[in-house]
Amino acid sequence: MNHVHFLSHPWHQLKFLSVSPLAQLVPPGDRPELAALLARAGVFQSWPSGARRPDRLPQLRAYLQMPGRGPASRFCDGTFRAVYAGGTPETCVAEMAYHHGQALRDSGEPAGAARIFESLALRVGGSFADVRKGRGELRRKDDYGPSQAFGAACRAGGEPGILYRSVRRKDGECLAIFQGSSVKACSLKEVIALRWDGKKLG
């Protein structure tokens, strides 16, 4: 897996997009009017022809190298930081929709909310711990105890990351990244919007 994808919250300085993510949330017939409104407001402008996509590698590496605690996740117990990527954008969306949807359910968010994310294309290199076969205890849907212990041991042993099967999308593959040096390139691909319908994000 040399090329993977990652969804993140948009950086605040982001202005130019290939397509407005909000257009994904309205009926096709309303999209021209929305595009005109956003253009007048100076947000979500069309991507300039030939413009270079923003490089997100410095931010991603800085996050992984940041001292202190990080959020707990499947392979991270919160004592360090990890970045998760998917082999395809569809796998990323499935994973992100599940976890953010769970947070929206827990908060009682009413239907109609939208969440906008950057879709980043990553090029990675290195030899990662491969647990795509066997080790079912590492892919439990909601029990992260065994996988967090495994992730901490891998990181302490110098592993740059873990390659595993997605829990949220059948046949999907994911990569947990511990070392920023494993990521050789990271650039903005597109921006997507997911709508919360009161039960799921998608």
pLDDT digits (tens, 9 = 90+) for 59-93: 889 989 988 888 899 999 999 999 999 888 888 88
Q: Considering the entire predicted model, what is its pTM?
A: 0.78
Please tell me the predicted confidence (pLDDT) of residue 45: 57
Q: Is the pLDDT at 15 greater than 50, yes or no? A: no
Please tell me the predicted confidence (pLDDT) of residue 44: 58
Check: CB of residue 147 under 8 Å from CB of residue 137. yes
- Name the DSSP letter for residue 112: T
- Positive or negative, the Cα torsion across 170, 171, 172, 175? positive
H/E segment holding residue 58: helix 57-65
Q: What is the C-alpha separation between 80 and 91, in angstroms, rounded?
A: 24
pLDDT digits (tens, 9 = 90+) for 128-169: 999 999 999 999 988 999 999 999 999 999 999 999 999 999
Please tell me the predicted confidence (pLDDT) of residue 16: 37
Is 37 in a helix, a strand, or coil? helix
